[in-house]
Amino acid sequence: MVADMHIQVDIKSLDGALGRLSKGEIASATAEGLNNLAKGARLAVVDRMKEVFDHPRPFTLNAFYNKPARADDLEAWVATRDYAPGGTPAVRYLGPQIYGGTRDQKRLEKALAPYSEGQYVVPGPAAPTNASGDLRPGFVTQMLSRMGLMADPTQNASTASLRRLRGKGRNAKGQRSEYFVGHEKGNGRPTGIFRLVGPGNVEMVLRFVPRAPRYQIRLPVEQIVQDRVSDRAERVMTRILKRTLRKRLP
């Protein structure tokens, strides 16, 4: 995704003086101004992320970059990083925040599909999360590993089984502190992942929801970019062109 920047600058007060500059000098000054504006627009997006998100990770804050302008290519962009070595680009999960609507399924949701019947996953009341509100990676790794010990997903506990196990303090395989899939009484729909933490103590760590979570637009990137550019364009370009002129004057 690229946030286009259409910049119009009123420099009528400099019209006469610009005749003293070469085309190359004007192009270089223009490229410098565009890059200044593009960087400022990207930082405005970062500032907005810090406002609307709860302790966003550095990886998220680094989701955008600047395509620089040159004297022979007077075009600068604020664009998303669409590639992340060994991971998912931040724009994949920022998309719903930028455009609104629903999101694609995450890797965790795909891994849990045999247990959730393809439902979406949201943190439960007892989910271990970090300052950003995301599930702790160590917890996810542990949970998937422990659930991998269950050879048959159909052996996961029903709600009635969970009640029986509370008194015994054990899971279906006779181990303590295991993870289970709870099911809704009557229709048997999987409701989430529970963890048995002791006799009579079961807590929900993940909740299954049948529909993709919907998001309101919280990060209107293109509007943020356009507003910042419009606010600064004339001032920035005038300052840079005047500085270029001063270098030419005796």
Average pLDDT over residues 3-27: 66
Count of CB atoms within 10 A of residue 112's CB? 26
* Range with lowest mean pLDDT among 126-130, 171-175, 195-199, 221-225: 171-175
DSSP strand pairing (179-183 vs 214-215):
unpaired
CA distances from 234 to 58, 115, 246 (A): 32, 58, 18
Residue 77 has pLDDT above 50, yes or no: yes
Q: Could you give the CA distance from residue 186 to residue 184 in angstroms, rounded to a whole number?
A: 6
Q: Could you give the CA distance from residue 144 to residue 108 in angstroms, rounded to a whole number?
A: 9
The answer to whether 249 and 21 are in contact (CB under 8 A) is no
Radius of gyration of the chain (CA): 27
Q: Could you give the CA distance from residue 175 to residue 167 in angstroms, rounded to a whole number?
A: 14
Q: Could you give the CA distance from residue 245 to residue 227 in angstroms, rounded to a whole number?
A: 28
pLDDT score for 84:
64
pTM of the predicted protein model:
0.63
Question: For the chain, which residues make up each domain, given as ranges?
Answer: 2-100+214-248, 106-209
- E strands present in the chain: 2-3, 64-67, 77-80, 101-102, 120-123, 179-183, 190-198, 201-209, 214-215
- pLDDT tier at 232 (50, 70, 90 boundaries)? very high
Q: Could you give the CA distance from residue 156 to residue 188 in angstroms, rounded to a whole number?
A: 12
Average pLDDT over residues 127-144: 79
* Range with lowest mean pLDDT among 56-60, 87-91, 116-120, 135-139: 87-91
Average pLDDT over residues 225-246: 89
pLDDT score for 190:
92
pLDDT score for 13:
58
pLDDT score for 131:
66
- pLDDT tier at 157 (50, 70, 90 boundaries)? very low
pLDDT score for 250:
57
Q: What is the DSSP string of 169-217?
A: T--TTS-SS-EEEEE-TTT--EEEEEEEEETTEEEEEEEEESSPPEE--
What average pLDDT is seen over the chain? 78
Percent of the chain with pLDDT over 70: 76
pLDDT score for 176:
42
Residue 2 has pLDDT above 50, yes or no: no
Average pLDDT over residues 208-224: 87
